[in-house]
Amino acid sequence: MIQIRRATEADAAGAISTLRRSITELCVADHQNSPTEVEEWLGNKTVESWRKWIAQDDAVVLVAEQERKVVGVGMATLSGEILLNYVHPEARFSGVSKAILAGLEEALKSQGVACCRLQSTLTAQPFYKSCGYRSEKGDAFILCKFL
């Protein structure tokens, strides 16, 4: 069973590992295994960054936990921008990303946010569209959804 909850500092190692593996293994269509692209994408996926993210007053950071292991990470600003929604490769297609997204949307809705926005990857675009997100401003990768 997947549990979605607020992230803590104790989640850092598992969350960063999940982020890094998800990007490296699941987003190949986006970075084409280019060492420069991969390193740029992974540059801020560190324990130090994690501590900063969870300490922000203007953001919500969630983790998906399954069998006491972090299998997903989500982050959104309280202005409605979804910044992260990554799943561990071993948990792909198990509902983790959908559960994280629903948790982020609910947290934002409870703060009075009427619309979520995000910049999608090529890999995630079909997923977001299946969850009700639509292209905005003529850009196929800038997506929004009214809550």
Query: Looking at residue 65, which CATH number applies to its domain?
Result: 3.40.630.30
Could you list the mean pLDDT of each consecutive 10-residue stretch along the chain, which spans 147 residues? 96 97 91 90 94 96 96 98 96 95 97 96 93 90 95
pLDDT score of 30 = 83
* Entry pTM: 0.93
Specify the number of domains making up the chain: 1
In this prediction, residue 90 carries a pLDDT of 94
CB-based contacts of 73-80 (< 8 A; 24+ apart in sequence): 73/7, 73/15, 73/18, 73/19, 73/100, 74/100, 74/101, 74/103, 74/104, 75/104, 76/104, 76/107, 76/108, 76/116, 78/108, 78/111, 78/113, 79/113, 80/108, 80/113, 80/114, 80/115, 80/116, 80/117
The residue segments making up the domain with residue 139 are 3-146
